[in-house]
């Protein structure tokens, strides 16, 4: 059984700093920041009424993002919280295109996060 990560529900937890790693795709934008609780990464979805006028489109976008996240869950780092902002093009995305785009974005965030950490020498 796969355990799904907690979701971010508090408004202040969605706020991100300028130096947080960001990845862009034609379907979404991901912003990562240090997790609020150690080893308990969470994710938050932003699917706005301004971008998706109809509720059916907002719900479909959220379902697709959740599916792509579940598929790529092993790529997510436990020390990061993720904020995913849906873009309009997500409605035309195929499942495989979305999963591949999510994999690439999470890999990019992981690489960027590793590069931004200070080296610890013993």
Q: What is the pLDDT of residues 59-92, one digit of tens each?
A: 999 999 999 999 998 888 888 889 999 999 999 9
Is position 99 within any domain? Answer: yes
- Which position has the higher pLDDT, 1 or 17? 17
Do residues 110 and 77 touch, judged by C-beta distance below 8 A?
yes
Is 5 a domain residue? no
Residue 50 lies in a domain: yes
Report the C-alpha gap between 38 and 20 in whole angstroms. Answer: 17
- Looking at residue 115, its pLDDT comes to 80
Lowest pLDDT segment from 3-7, 44-48, 104-108: 3-7
Q: Which domain holds residue 64?
A: 20-114
Q: Is 40 within the bounds of a domain?
A: yes
Contact 13, 96 (CB under 8 A): no
Report the number of distinct structural domains present in the chain.
1
What pLDDT score does 67 carry? 95
Q: Helix (H, G, I), strand (E, B), or coil: what is residue 45?
A: strand
pLDDT for the residue 39? 74
Between the alpha carbon of residue 27 and those of residues 84, 97, 99, the distances in Å are 10, 9, 11
Confidence of residue 17 (pLDDT cuts 50, 70, 90): low
Q: Is the pTM of this model over 0.85?
A: no
Which pLDDT value is given to residue 41?
74
Lowest mean pLDDT among 21-35, 91-105, 106-120: 106-120
**Mean of pLDDT values over 17-36:** 84
Is residue 15 one of the residues assigned to a domain?
Answer: no
Report yes or no on 13 lying in a domain: no
Q: Which residue has the tokens 């790693």?
A: 21
Q: Is residue 4 part of a domain?
A: no
- Return the C-alpha torsion angle 7, 12, 15, 17, nearest 10: -120
The answer to whether position 91 is within a domain reads: yes
What is the CATH number for 96?
Answer: 3.30.230.10
């Amino acid at each position: 059984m796969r355990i799904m990560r907690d979701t971010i529900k508090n408004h202040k937890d969605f706020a991100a700093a300028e130096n947080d790693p960001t990845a862009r795709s034609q379907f979404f934008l991901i912003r990562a920041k240090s997790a609020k609780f150690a080893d308990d990464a969470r994710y938050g979805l932003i699917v706005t009424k301004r971008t998706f006028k109809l509720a059916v489109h907002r719900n479909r976008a959220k379902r697709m993002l959740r599916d792509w996240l579940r598929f790529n869950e092993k790529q997510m780092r436990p020390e990061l919280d993720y904020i995913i902002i849906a873009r309009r093009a997500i409605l035309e995305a195929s499942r495989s295109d979305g999963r591949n785009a999510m994999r690439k974005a999470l890999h990019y965030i992981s690489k960027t996060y590793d590069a931004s950490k200070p080296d610890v020498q013993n």
